[in-house]
Structure formats: structure tokens, C-alpha cells
Amino acid sequence: MRMFHTSVTDLRQPFVETVETFPYECGWADEAIFFVTAETGTDESAQVSLGVQLSADGIRWLDEGSVLTLRGPASGFVRVTHFGGFLRLAGTVAGGTTNGATLTVRLALKG
């Protein structure tokens, strides 16, 4: 049986303009899905743009290429495979009255 684990890497975490989710080590896993929720209270016109990033050490990050975009309070997901040892999302919050968003990130891992 394969191993499965979901980590809530960022729970109702407030971000202003720049988003960097918690660097998560998951080299044991073969596949991952980031489930992202912009929580209630996030401005209706705020646009959250997040890209998947990879890292060899959990400190220095490179874009993987996959992108997830949310507008206002909403949820979405992005799938990733073949990612090495560390994963996170990085991006921006634009628009809205506060230039901010409260995000919950659930990283579902299987391997």
C-alpha cells in the first residue's frame, strides 16, 4: 500500500502582496496536489497568482512552471509530479482594497 499524507502547510495564513507558502519537504512522495483556499474576508477583486516552486535544499527556489490563479474568496488546486525533495507555492496578491489575502494550503502527498 502506498503512503499518503496531507499537511496543512499554511492555515488561514495572511499574505500581503507577496506569497511564499511554507517550504515543505516531501521527497518520499511521487505525486502532490496543492489545494488552496482564499478564505472568507479576502477581497472580492483580489487576484491571487501562485506558481509551484522546487528546491534542492528548501532554501533556494526555482519555478516549476505550474500556475494557480484565484479571484476573491475561492478554492483551486494544482497537481505536481517528479519534484525532488521540497515544494512550495510562490506568487502575488494583486488588486482588492487591502492588497492581501488569507490563504489555507493543503498539500496532499502520495508515494
Binding stretches for another protein (CB under 8 A)? 3, 5, 7-9, 11-13, 22-28, 40, 56-60, 85
- When the beta carbons of 30 and 63 are compared against another protein, the nearer one is 30
- CB 59 to another protein: min, Å: 5
CB 9 within 8 A of CB 105: yes
Give the DSSP H/E element, type plus range, for residue 41: none
Provide the minimum distance between the beta carbon of 88 and another protein in the complex, in angstroms, as a whole number: 11
Nearer to another protein, 78 or 86 (CB): 86
- Residue 95 CA to residue 46 CA, distance in Å, equals 5
Q: Which of 6, 69 has the CB closer to another protein?
A: 6
Q: How far apart are CA 74 and CA 53, in angstroms?
A: 21
For residues 90 and 19, the answer to whether their CB atoms sit within 8 Å is yes
